[in-house]
Chains A and B, each alone.
Chain A
Amino acid sequence: DAKTTQPPSMDCAEGRAANLPCNHSTISGNEYVYWYRQIHSQGPQYIIHGLKNNETNEMASLIITEDRKSSTLILPHATLRDTAVYYCIVLNAGNNRKLIWGLGTSLAVNP
């Protein structure tokens, strides 16, 4: 399974867009990019996932580069409740797929 690299921490002002980068340079063709977040030691929460096209849902947007070696999660208008650890995970679409969790990015949204 491909590994991911994320910055350990980031800050964002409330109301501004939060752009969280993820590097997955060894990703293969059938591997999806997933994003989860974990708010203050609660159970992780699914945000969004994609294969090669950009994706948007009610929570966030996911931008995947054309070579698929990196991606960016965008929270368009960050609120204090978005303060959390954000995990970028690459998941193989085969039968033996398991989520391999890294250390994530700790996002602090400041008033």
Chain B
Amino acid sequence: NAGVTQTPKFRILKIGQSMTLQCTQDMNHNYMYWYRQDPGMGLKLIYYSVGAGITDKGEVPNGYNVSRSTTEDFPLRLELAAPSQTSVYFCASSYRASTTDTQYFGPGTRLTVL
């Protein structure tokens, strides 16, 4: 299993540009998440999905959109990039049971908006 994969690893955007961060998992997990991590800070939840076709907002959803058409893929879309979106973005997935919710993380995408 590859686990959770993310592309690209690095990206530089100009203000106002748009892009899609890709996330794929091969563990057949229903739950998927997008986080951002600013320097020296913990992770903040942007959006999450409990299954194909179902998404919901996290703590910091403004400026982002998501879709979940398949179990495997959970892309994150930035429509009008702003310098405040400079961050490292992590995708995660989990199998959620009643007593456990271990999340598996991808390697991250480092995004700089200039």
Contact = CB atoms under 8 A, between A and B. Distances in A.
Given A43-B90, A98-B58, A49 B42 contact: no
A78 B98 CA distance: 32
A45 interface: yes
B42 to A, nearest CB: 3
Nearest to B91: A43
A87 B43 CA distance: 10
B48 A43 contact: no
Given A43-B92, A98-B58, A49 B45 contact: no
A43 B42 contact: no
A67 B92 CA distance: 32
Interface stretch (B14-22, B69-77, B78-86, B99-107): B99-107
B2 to A, nearest CB: 13
Interface of B: 4, 35, 40-45, 48, 58, 88, 90, 92, 98-108
